[in-house]
């Protein structure tokens, strides 16, 4: 995404708050004008004190009164302007974070799988914070800075044309320096944001796999990898900081040059009687006020370059294509009978390599289908296609004679219940985890579901029972206990189609026998797909699909396949 497009998108974020920003601009005008009257009043006050015994106290009192009024107006208008700018910025960032979080739920699973989770977190947290800083500085300092420059120049021109023109001639030097440095800075800030995303992703993965790293004694390897990534990020960070830190000294040098020019020219004009000492004092104050915003604006430009680089990453994420869904979704209340037909199904993650191809079979309602095969043959991928986590490259999946791409994902998934090998629990109570995705569920229904999955026993032994809070990643529960809670979640509301992908892989043999009995009752009259490595769990299936190298090479009952003495038979013997 090019800079022009990024600026356009930022403008789109700001547009709904245009009225508030206009009010902020008006208050900034009041703040600037009142601040510019203060040097005028200071100059007049100096002129009222001609010498010893020659002080006009009456005139001085009036000037000081006006001075205090201007200070109050300046302070009040600055406060209101800052309040509006902060509110606008934080509202924009709040809404942007909401959009970013909602985007996660509309992205296809393939996008999430192909991007580092740490990089996505970096876009949603670090990049948003930097955009927030850039917008806030832009609203608060850029408005006031530009207005101060323009208004101060007008005031100086009214006082003395030639001194003001000398200031104007020196101004482009500061602008050129700031512009040159900002162009150099942007590319380094862009690279810095990208490397930070990669570093965050690496740290996120390391924290998640800390037990694995320690068990293999790979701490030194991971430290070395981190050192390389951290060093690369530090170098990019240093380059960005080097160029951005040049801005302030360069503009300060130009500002000092402007001040010195005003002082010398003003003194020459004052000696010749062209202006009073008070007016010279006023002019010097204006010279300071005129040059100060250039420092601030240059800082804002540098920060904004960083914000734009981060905004580009944010907008690229928001522009990622959403998952496909049907244009005419079915009613969510529709319930399938469980009739499923697969016709010439083809799919691969890498389109240059075949994974699943030419898969065809028909499943009658209430049938129990087992899917077996060696690791990497495509069993879980096939399940992902049934759930529409991925879309097939060719062929069709028909539910009750209706193509899956003609059924809304919400309708489809409400008719399919899943228990996967990988457990997923939220950091809430066990009761809330069991009731996840269901509304108006009573505690009695939750307990009944836990009893069916044989989870009630261990939950009751916990100090807070069903109100026990699951720690992040479920660290306060064993793998088997987490699996039982996931099974209880399915037991709570059983849809017409079930998918059990290694559902009992983390459970001891005795509990597995009891759960299989519960599953048997659960699957009665429901179409069920069972993915398992342990062949003992699938002997009684109505149909066994044997997969190898992405295709179904054998299908039939356990007895039929055993009699064929083919691949299934060799797996059974091994």
Contact assessment for residue 76 and residue 26, using Cβ atoms and an 8 Å cutoff: no
For residues 340 and 122, give the distance between their C-alpha atoms in angstroms, rounded to a whole number: 41
pLDDT, residue 76, reads: 92
**How would you label 392-407 residue by residue, b for 16+ Cβ within 10 Å and e otherwise?**
beebbbbbbebebeeb
For residues 221 and 202, give the distance between their C-alpha atoms in angstroms, rounded to a whole number: 13
Q: Which class is domain 85-318?
A: mainly alpha
For residues 408 and 332, give the distance between their C-alpha atoms in angstroms, rounded to a whole number: 8
Q: What is the pLDDT of residues 462-516, one digit of tens each?
A: 888 989 888 876 677 887 788 888 888 888 877 888 888 776 666 677 767 766 7
- Residue range 9-17: mean pLDDT, rounded: 87
Give the torsion through C-alpha atoms of 402, 405, 411, 414, to 10 deg: 100
Mean residue pLDDT of the chain comes to 80
SS3 call for 415: coil
pLDDT, residue 128, reads: 86
pLDDT, residue 326, reads: 63
Contact assessment for residue 226 and residue 157, using Cβ atoms and an 8 Å cutoff: no
Highest mean pLDDT pick, 232-236, 266-270, 375-379: 232-236
Q: What is the pLDDT of residues 331-357, one digit of tens each?
A: 555 678 888 998 988 888 877 777 888
- Residue range 351-380: mean pLDDT, rounded: 83
- Residue range 205-223: mean pLDDT, rounded: 79
User: What are the domain boundaries of the chain?
Assistant: 85-318, 340-573
pLDDT, residue 498, reads: 87
Say if residue 263's pLDDT is above 70: yes
- 243/225: higher pLDDT: 225
Say if residue 178's pLDDT is above 70: no
Residue 201 CB contacts under 8 Å (≥ 6 apart), including other chains: 116, 117, 118, 119, 121, 122
| Angle, CA of 200, 192 and 244, to the nearest 5° | 140
Q: Write down the CATH number for the domain with range 340-573.
A: 3.40.50.300
For residues 166 and 493, give the distance between their C-alpha atoms in angstroms, rounded to a whole number: 81
Say if residue 330's pLDDT is above 60: no
pLDDT, residue 318, reads: 86
For residues 59 and 41, give the distance between their C-alpha atoms in angstroms, rounded to a whole number: 11
| DSSP output for 99-163 | HHHHHHHHS-HHHHHHS-HHHHHHHHTHHHHHHHHHHHHIIIIIHHHHHHHHHHHHHHHHH-HHH
What pairs with residue 372 in β-bridges?
Answer: 546
| pLDDT above 90 coverage of the chain, percent | 1
For residues 439 and 279, give the distance between their C-alpha atoms in angstroms, rounded to a whole number: 75
- Residue range 419-438: mean pLDDT, rounded: 83
Full-model pTM: 0.66
Q: Quickly state the pLDDT bin for 156 (edges 50, 70, 90).
A: confident
Domains 85-318 and 340-573 share a fold: no
pLDDT, residue 72, reads: 92
Say if residue 519's pLDDT is above 80: no
Say if residue 565's pLDDT is above 80: yes
The candidate with the shortest Cα–Cα distance to 484, out of 513, 445, 512, is 512
Q: What is the pLDDT of residues 71-95, one digit of tens each?
A: 899 889 889 988 988 888 888 888 8
């Amino acid at each position: 995404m090019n800079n022009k497009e990024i600026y356009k998108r930022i403008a789109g974020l700001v547009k709904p708050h245009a009225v508030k920003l206009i009010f902020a601009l008006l208050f900034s005008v009041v703040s600037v004008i009142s601040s510019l009257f203060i040097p005028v009043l200071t100059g007049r006050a100096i002129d009222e004190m001609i010498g010893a015994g020659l002080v006009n106290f009456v005139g001085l009192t009036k000037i000081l009164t006006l001075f205090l009024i201007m200070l109050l107006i300046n302070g009040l208008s600055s406060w209101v302007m800052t309040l509006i700018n902060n509110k606008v910025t934080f509202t924009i960032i709040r809404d942007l974070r909401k959009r970013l979080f909602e985007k996660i739920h509309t992205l296809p699973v393939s996008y999430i799988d192909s991007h580092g989770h740490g990089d996505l977190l970096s876009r949603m947290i670090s990049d948003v914070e930097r955009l927030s800083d850039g917008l806030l500085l832009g609203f608060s300092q850029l408005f006031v800075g530009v207005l101060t420059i323009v208004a101060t120049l007008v005031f100086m021109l009214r006082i003395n044309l030639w001194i003001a023109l000398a200031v104007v001639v020196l101004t482009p030097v500061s602008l050129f320096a700031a512009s040159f440095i900002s162009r150099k800075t942007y590319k380094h800030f862009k690279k810095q944001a990208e490397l930070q995303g990669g570093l965050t992703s690496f740290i996120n993965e390391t924290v998640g796999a800390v037990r694995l790293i320690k068990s293999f004694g790979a701490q030194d390897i991971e430290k070395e990898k981190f050192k390389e990534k951290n060093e690369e990020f530090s170098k990019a960070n240093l380059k960005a900081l080097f160029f951005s830190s040049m801005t302030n000294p360069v503009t300060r040098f130009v500002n000092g040059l402007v001040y010195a020019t005003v002082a010398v020219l003003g003194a020459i004009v004052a000696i010749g009687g062209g202006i009073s000492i008070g007016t010279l004092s006023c002019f010097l104050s204006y010279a300071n006020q005129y040059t100060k915003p250039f420092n601030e604006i240059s800082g804002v430009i540098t920060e904004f370059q960083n914000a734009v680089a981060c905004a580009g990453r944010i907008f690229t994420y928001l522009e990622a294509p959403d998952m496909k869904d049907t244009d005419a979704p079915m009613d969510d209340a529709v319930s399938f009978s469980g009739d499923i037909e697969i016709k010439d199904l083809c799919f691969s993650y890498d389109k240059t390599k075949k994974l699943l191809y030419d898969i065809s079979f028909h499943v009658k309602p209430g049938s129990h289908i087992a899917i077996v095969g060696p690791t990497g043959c495509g069993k879980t991928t096939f399940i992902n296609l049934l759930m529409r986590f991925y879309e097939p490259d060719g062929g069709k999946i028909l539910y009750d004679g209706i193509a899956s791409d003609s059924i809304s994902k919400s309708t489809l998934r409400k008719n399919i219940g899943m228990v996967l090998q990988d457990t997923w629990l939220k950091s809430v109570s066990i009761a809330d985890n069991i009731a996840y995705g269901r509304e108006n569920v009573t505690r009695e229904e939750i307990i009944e579901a836990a009893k069916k999955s044989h989870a009630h026993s261990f939950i009751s032994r916990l100090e807070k029972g069903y109100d026990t809070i699951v720690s992040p990643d479920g660290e306060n529960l064993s793998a088997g206990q987490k699996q039982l809670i996931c099974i209880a979640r399915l037991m709570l509301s059983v849809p017409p189609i079930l998918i059990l992908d290694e559902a009992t892989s983390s459970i001891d043999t005795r509990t597995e026998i009891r759960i299989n009995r519960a599953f048997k009752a659960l699957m009665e009259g429901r179409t069920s797909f069972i993915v398992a490595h342990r062949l003992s769990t699938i002997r009684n299936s109505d149909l066994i699909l044997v997969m190898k190298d992405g295709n179904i090479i054998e299908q039939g009952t356990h007895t039929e396949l055993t009699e064929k003495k083919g691949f299934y038979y060799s797996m059974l013997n091994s």
